[in-house]
């Protein structure tokens, strides 16, 4: 089997409501999809998502597409995708950085290989440890009463019992008060967590985390700027509430440095930031070897990207803090025929060949920025 073609599409999907982060507010989420075809016509599909163009990380959707088409695609055409780990390593020797682009290409290769073998992709990564995983939901109205009502509704319907609040924007003390009131209302029925998205300095973190810890919050995500591992280490050693690395964690080398300096108690795994599925498994191995807990993060992917992450996370034995794979629930529409299933507070891991998702090509044509005459 050889790779015959690789096409990349930039796709804009509307969300059901604004999703607020410290660096950007999402009302339309941009994903990048890739279709890799073998010479006998089998298709492998991949997806990565970014946040706010280049506001979250260095790679924009437009750059991902361009760099794949100009620099990565020529390296792999006519190669055998069954050697996806070796091909990913080869790409890495020729293309520096561009981890989202590399992850997109590798995921398409993995989907293609698994479909050729007629097995779920997780079988290529050691098989399943989980058939479902806990999934968090972000409360984002900014109104305490409305957020409490939403949390209580999801608890009653058994859709979510883990709730995250993005509190990097606005007055830190007011945000902390808002979070504590929600935790008081939820009580022991649910976990309440916060994500600061690098927005606090060390002084702000000290008094805010102390208040959040006393208020029963279960997890503090990335309070400090990504390069401040020393500061993150101080916070991790000072507080009982776990501190999680997100923006500071991407590559295997970053995972090693964080673990070495104990700059986090929890790793937020993200497939695109690590550079692909194989790289993410290596990051998870660093966490396992050093006693750091894990959390299955999200870049707010659509149904395909969520399936990619879910299948990989299902192969990791200890996902202590669950996942944040709620992306498909945030979109007004998706680009797959079948949908991700959620029940009993968990995401069900998709089965079926590849990542278990069938692309809706008419919807892809509708939401894609490109004229996609190649789709049939």
Is 150 found in the same domain as 81? no
Is 88 found in the same domain as 143? no
pLDDT digits (tens, 9 = 90+) for 218-270: 999 999 999 999 999 999 999 999 999 999 999 999 999 999 999 999 999 99
Residues of the chain with pLDDT under 70: 19-24, 371-376
Exactly one of 73, 115, 166, 281 is catalytic; name it: 166
Active site residue 96: no
For residue 373, is it within any domain?
no
Overall domain count for the chain: 2
- Specify the CATH number for the domain of residue 54: 3.30.390.10
Is 78 found in the same domain as 133? no
Q: Pairing relation of β-strands 243-245 and 219-221? A: parallel
Give percent of the chain above pLDDT 90: 91
Which H helix or E strand runs over 253? Answer: helix 252-260
- Specify the CATH number for the domain of residue 219: 3.20.20.120
For residue 376, is it within any domain?
no
For residue 259, is it within any domain?
yes
Residues making up the chain, counted from first to last: 376
Is 52 found in the same domain as 149? no
Is 114 found in the same domain as 133? no
Sequence-ordered list of residues with C-beta below 8 angstroms from that of 45, at least 6 positions apart, any chain:
33, 34, 35, 36, 107, 108, 111, 304, 354, 355, 357, 359
pLDDT value at residue 315: 98
Q: Helical H runs in 95-161?
A: 99-117, 144-156
pLDDT value at residue 371: 62
Query: What predicted TM-score, i.e. pTM, was given to this entire model?
Result: 0.94
3-state secondary structure of 334: coil
pLDDT value at residue 142: 86
For residue 143, is it within any domain?
yes
Sequence-ordered list of residues with C-beta below 8 angstroms from that of 74, at least 6 positions apart, any chain:
none
Using a 10 angstrom Cβ sphere, with 0-12 exposed, 13-18 middle and 19 or more buried, the burial of residue 170 is middle
Between CA 343 and CA 349, with CA 347 as vertex, the angle to 5 degrees is 120
Is 281 found in the same domain as 255? yes
pLDDT value at residue 33: 98
Structure tokens, 358:
């069938």
Structure tokens, 315:
């192969």
Is 71 found in the same domain as 213? no
Is 102 found in the same domain as 232? no
For residue 316, is it within any domain?
yes
Which H helix or E strand runs over 193? Answer: strand 191-195
pLDDT value at residue 372: 58
Is 181 found in the same domain as 327? yes
**What domain range includes position 21?**
3-118+358-367
Is 134 found in the same domain as 69? no
- Distance (Å, whole) CA 182 – CA 9: 40
Is 101 found in the same domain as 187? no
For residue 261, is it within any domain?
yes
Which H helix or E strand runs over 307? Answer: helix 303-313
């Amino acid at each position: 089997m050889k790779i015959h073609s690789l096409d990349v599409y930039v796709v804009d999907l509307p969300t059901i409501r604004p999703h607020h982060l410290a660096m950007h507010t999402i009302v339309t989420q941009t994903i990048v999809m890739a279709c890799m075809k073998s010479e006998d016509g089998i298709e492998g599909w991949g997806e990565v998502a970014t946040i706010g163009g280049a506001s979250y990380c260095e790679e924009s959707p437009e750059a991902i597409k361009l760099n794949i088409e100009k620099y990565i695609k020529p390296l792999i055409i006519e190669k055998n995708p069954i050697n996806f780990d070796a091909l990913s390593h080869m790409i890495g020797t020729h293309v520096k950085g561009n981890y989202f682009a590399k992850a997109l290409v590798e995921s398409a290769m993995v989907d293609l290989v698994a479909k050729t073998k007629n097995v779920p992709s997780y079988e290529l990564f050691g098989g399943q440890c989980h058939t479902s995983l806990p999934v968090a939901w972000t409360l984002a109205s900014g109104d305490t009463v409305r957020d409490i009502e939403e949390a209580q509704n999801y608890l009653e319907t058994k859709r979510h019992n883990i709730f995250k609040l993005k509190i990097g924007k606005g007055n830190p003390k007011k945000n902390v008060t808002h979070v504590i009131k929600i935790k008081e209302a939820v009580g022991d029925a649910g976990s309440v967590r916060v994500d600061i998205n690098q927005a606090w300095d060390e002084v702000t973190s000290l008094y805010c985390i102390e208040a959040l810890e006393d208020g029963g919050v279960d997890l503090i995500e990335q309070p400090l700027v990504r390069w401040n591992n020393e500061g993150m280490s101080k916070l991790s050693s000072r507080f009982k509430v776990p501190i999680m690395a997100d923006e500071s964690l991407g590559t295997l080398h970053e995972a090693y440095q964080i673990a070495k300096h104990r700059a986090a108690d929890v790793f937020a795994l993200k497939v695109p930031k690590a550079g692909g599925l194989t790289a993410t498994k290596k990051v998870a191995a660093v966490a396992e070897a050093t006693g750091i807990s894990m959390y299955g993060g999200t870049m707010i992917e659509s149904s395909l990207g969520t399936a990619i992450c879910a299948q990989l996370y299902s192969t990791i034995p200890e996902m202590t803090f669950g996942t944040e794979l709620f992306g498909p629930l945030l979109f007004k529409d998706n680009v797959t025929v079948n949908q991700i299933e959620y029940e009993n507070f968990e995401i069900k891991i998709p089965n079926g060949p590849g990542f278990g998702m069938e692309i809706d090509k008419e919807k892809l044509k509708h939401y894609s920025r490109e004229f996609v005459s190649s789709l049939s």
